[in-house]
Structure 1
Amino acid sequence: MGLPAVQRSADPFSDGAASAERGLVPFDRFAAANRAAEVLRAEADALLALAKSPPAGLLDAADLIESRGGGVVVTGMGKAGLVGRKIAATLASLGTPACVLHPGEAVHGDLGMVRDDATVLALSHSGETAEVTQILAPLARREVPVVAVTARAGSTLGRAATVVVAMGQLREADVHNLAPTVSTCAMMALGDALAVLLSERAEFTPDRFAAFHPAGSLGRKLARVDEVMRTGSAVRVFADYEPVRKVLVTAEGERRTGAVMLIDDAGRLTGLFTDSDLARLLARRGEHELDRPVSAVMTRSPITVGEHVSVGEAVSLLKGRKLSELPVVDASGRPVGLVDITDLIGLV
């Protein structure tokens, strides 16, 4: 006896007449896809226009912030304020100290976070946002310069600003031209451009970037190999004249790597004895092979890295050369650790 037929509930979007009765617009996936493409094109077009003719104020803003040296305080209301949070985060991550000031809280004491040598970056498409314009006079009294990212230099915000980054009057992507979409996209892109300009002028290095990003996969890639390599009892090091049989003996306890680093009398790395070397040895089925010096069967002159190389560079070597282990050596060629591919799962 078969199962009873499943009774499906009516889908209000599958029947145009039913949707009309409920006051709903019938759902058309093809039309919706086209509409989504229009939104994306509107935002892309705005960015292309800015790229074709970048606002002159953008370079002036970089000059001003660099000359002041007191960091950037980003402020804006609503969606512009949310964009401001992202801009402040990007500035900070690329070496320009930045924080966010809520304009509503600013007039209730938070203006105190603005240093006298700081620069305020104020975001408002209209340039008339009341919460933003109300902090202009207090800032002017303290002679704190303002960089305005706005549509028009003639707006209230634009007239009061030291530097205006004029985006032009942008039409939003929604049908009623109401929701900040194209304007916030342009603001964010201009903020990114400003952050990158400032970082390059300051000759911001990957090492400094890594210092600000110690967590996550990005942080791990930017870390140095001496921060992630195996050392001490987690690695095996033998003299290259030792017999293979001795090298194969592994102490119990802490998990070891699949490769043994081999050194000469001066302690310099001469080779690796890997799982592959062992497999080839066993395939020959020669018991006498186990009593030969390991130097006779090891992988000679293995690829190595210095201890200050980034994890990202080590990962590239492991991937590019199809390696499982990467010895880490000091300036004299002596092994100080080993990077094992199993420790970098997710980055390789």
Structure 2
Amino acid sequence: MSIRAEPRGADRKPVEPAEVIPDNNRRPAVGPARIAMNDEDILQRGQEIIRKEVAAANMVLETLSPAFTSAVRLIADATGRVAVTGIGKAGLIGAKIAATLSSTGTPAYTLHPAEAIHGDLGMVLPQDVVLALTNSGQTEELVRALEALRRHGCRIVLLTGRSESRCSRLADVVLSYGQVEEACPLGLAPSSSTAAMLVLGDAVALTVLLLKDFTPEQYARFHPGGELGRSLMKVEEIMRQGPACPVAHRDGTVSDYNRAIRDAGKASPLRGSGAVAVVDDERRLVGFFTDGDLRRLIERTSHPASCRLGEVMTANPRFARLGDYVVDAAKLMRRHRIDELPVVDGERRCVGLIDIQDLFAAGFSVFDVD
């Protein structure tokens, strides 16, 4: 006798699917465009949004008060850093302002209000100045953070849309740009208010820059990477100097040229240069002798090694001075199709040499310089 096992649930009736009642008022959270707009409508909407944000920026300009001066001086005179804090979109604008402050000579960092009241207050020193951003001035997390920061001994600057609020009562200086109409078509997403915050925050940061007499050279030190850093780099930062700079006396011979090239090549991390700076007794630059000069000399004499450098060098060569920008030196090299350029001080003493390899190593190309 055999028993055939039936699959579990085989005796059950299939369940009918539940009836789905469409909800015509429900719209997907995301999805393709649902409103028909022609190209002209889209352009006009964009222009309208920009006009509202420009109006917000103009309001900042019109409402700027003596409190701005107090805020700038408070930040410029701070012996600590600037703690920039805010919630949501205001916090994101604050992060940009903190970055601007840091890159222009005022050390700054971001402090999230919620994290601040859960331990991050430990990174804040009493001598730090707090720059807080809030449109409403009523954000609970920010209020609690500012209360704690004030007890900690910090001075507080507030950027806000409301001069009277819980946050403003905790601040030493209040910069209010007033109530602005949000550019968001729904009137909900922070847009005009964040534009006002950004304009006002930039005005504070960049005026502090002026008050500190921050220079392009200092700015370059904080931006060593990329095109920006290279544009402000000085020749002394990349030139070969000391033992790596090939120099020979004008009374020396071509044999001395070969020796100088060899010795400098051993001291340079890059391939040795093919040129030497020819100098006088005071190490003042009087000429330049290159491997090209050597090739031409070999073509016209049978004993080039014994020729005096002062007689075969290129007199009055082109050069860069200490303090010149590398980009200008690169332009000079490209214009005159040369691979090496001596560098002199104020007394025209040779202090270094730039080889085209040094430009490449620093990210420059004489072919890319305008």
> Does TM-score exceed 0.5, indicating one fold?
yes
Q: Which residue of structure 2 lines up, in the alignment, with residue 12 of structure 1?
A: none
Match 1:334 to one of 330, 339, 349: 349
* CA gap 1:136/1:236 in 2 versus in 1, 3 angstroms: closer
Q: Which residue of structure 1 lines up, in the alignment, with residue 121 of structure 2?
A: 111
Q: Secondary structure at 2:167's aligned position in 1? A: helix
8 Å contact 2:289–2:309 — kept in the other structure?
A: yes
Q: 1:165 is matched by which residue type in structure 2?
A: L
Q: Which residue of structure 1 lines up, in the alignment, with residue 97 of structure 2?
A: 87
Q: Which residue of structure 2 lines up, in the alignment, with residue 100 of structure 1?
A: 110
Stretch of structure 1 that moved more, 286-295 or 254-263: 286-295
Instruction: Write the mapping of 1:1-348 to structure 2, written as runs, cut at 5 A.
Output: 24-26=34-36, 28-51=38-61, 54-231=64-241, 235-242=245-252, 247=257, 255-257=271-273, 259-274=275-290, 286-287=300-301, 293-296=308-311, 298-307=313-322, 309=323, 313-319=325-331, 322-323=335-336, 324=338, 325-330=340-345, 332-345=347-360, 346-347=363-364, 348=369
8 Å contact 2:180–2:192 — kept in the other structure?
A: yes
Q: CA deviation at 1:27?
A: 6.1
Stretch of structure 1 that moved more, 107-116 or 295-304: 295-304
Q: 1:227 is matched by which residue type in structure 2?
A: E
Q: CA deviation at 1:173?
A: 2.1
Q: 1:304 is matched by which residue type in structure 2?
A: F
8 Å contact 2:159–2:176 — kept in the other structure?
A: yes
| Partner Cα distance (2:33, 2:39) in 1 | 19
Q: Secondary structure at 1:261's aligned position in 2? A: strand
Q: CA deviation at 1:46?
A: 2.8
Superposition RMSD on alpha carbons, in Å? Answer: 3.4
8 Å contact 1:107–1:135 — kept in the other structure?
A: yes
| Partner Cα distance (1:245, 1:67) in 2 | 61
Q: 2:350 is matched by which residue type in structure 1?
A: P
Q: CA deviation at 1:191?
A: 1.8
8 Å contact 1:121–1:148 — kept in the other structure?
A: yes
| Partner Cα distance (2:313, 2:353) in 1 | 17
Structure 1: state its 5+ residue gaps: 1-21
* CA gap 1:44/1:261 in 2 versus in 1, 3 angstroms: farther
Higher gyration radius (CA): 2
Q: CA deviation at 1:293?
A: 4.3
| Partner Cα distance (1:41, 1:297) in 2 | 69
Q: 1:270 is matched by which residue type in structure 2?
A: V
Q: 1:153 is matched by which residue type in structure 2?
A: S
Q: Residue deviations 1:199-220, cap 9 Å, x none?
A: 2222333444344334334334
Q: CA deviation at 1:242?
A: 4.6
Q: Secondary structure at 1:256's aligned position in 2? A: coil
* CA gap 1:298/1:163 in 2 versus in 1, 3 angstroms: same
8 Å contact 2:136–2:161 — kept in the other structure?
A: yes
Q: Residue deviations 1:79-100, cap 9 Å, x none?
A: 1111111211221222222221
TM (norm. structure 1) is 0.77
Q: CA deviation at 1:292?
A: 5.7
| Partner Cα distance (2:332, 2:38) in 1 | 47
* CA gap 1:298/1:37 in 2 versus in 1, 3 angstroms: farther
Q: Kindly tell me the number of residue pairs found equivalent between the two proteins.
A: 322
Q: 1:337 is matched by which residue type in structure 2?
A: G
Stretch of structure 1 that moved more, 140-149 or 92-101: 140-149
Q: Secondary structure at 1:135's aligned position in 2? A: helix
Q: CA deviation at 1:161?
A: 1.8
| Partner Cα distance (2:41, 2:107) in 1 | 45
Q: Secondary structure at 1:270's aligned position in 2? A: strand
Q: CA deviation at 1:270?
A: 0.9
| Partner Cα distance (1:50, 1:78) in 2 | 21
Stretch of structure 1 that moved more, 47-56 or 131-140: 47-56
Q: Secondary structure at 1:188's aligned position in 2? A: helix
| Partner Cα distance (1:143, 1:196) in 2 | 26
| Partner Cα distance (1:104, 1:122) in 2 | 13
Q: 1:302 is matched by which residue type in structure 2?
A: P
Q: Residue deviations 1:60-109, cap 9 Å, x none?
A: 11122344433321100111111111211221222222221100111112
* CA gap 1:296/1:44 in 2 versus in 1, 3 angstroms: farther
| Partner Cα distance (1:239, 1:303) in 2 | 18
| Partner Cα distance (1:40, 1:320) in 2 | 44
